[in-house]
Amino acid sequence: MDIECDKCGEVFGEGFHRYIEEVEVNGEVEEHCSSCRAKRCAEELETETRERLPTLIDLFNAMKADDDSLPRWDSLPTYGGDEITDTESVWSWNETHMIVGDGQCDLEIVSREDWNNRSK
Ligand SMILES: [Zn+2]
């Protein structure tokens, strides 16, 4: 019998039971697959980090200080504004600014406008 993930709708064959787990959502038990679980963990970590570092500047300072409680740089929270699609060397952003750099040494905050002009 196939099992369908209640959350993402992915269907798993009989051999895949171990990838399904029961999760309580608003008091009801749902069956979620492992990819949903991984996604949920990432979302929780992101929310937690955003609560601890409520602005882009806070995040920037933590990254500069090599704060080891930060998630991996590719799972950092963002702070609103238009989604940036070309995220190469871009780690986070808010409505007006973004954190860019290839590594910790050249990490900087630039305005979205400056970055757009630079990439041209
Ligand atoms: Zn799923």
Q: What is the pLDDT of residues 49-75, one digit of tens each?
A: 999 999 999 999 999 998 888 888 888
Beta-bridge mates of residue 12: 3
Gap from CA of 109 to ligand 1 centroid (Å): 36
Average pLDDT on 100-112 reads: 93
Q: Say whether pTM exceeds 0.75.
A: no
Cα 67 to ligand 1 centre (Å): 32
Mean pLDDT of 93-119: 92
For residues 14, 17, 18, 19, the Cα torsion angle rounded to the nearest 10 degrees is 100
- In angstroms, rounded to a whole number, what is the distance separating the alpha carbons of residues 36 and 5? 9
Q: How far is the CA of 60 from the centre of ligand 1 (A)?
A: 33
- Residue 12 alpha carbon to ligand 1 centre in Å: 10
What mean pLDDT is reported for the chain?
87
Report the DSSP beta bridge partners of residue 28.
25
Q: CA quadruple 108, 110, 114, 116: dihedral positive or negative?
A: positive
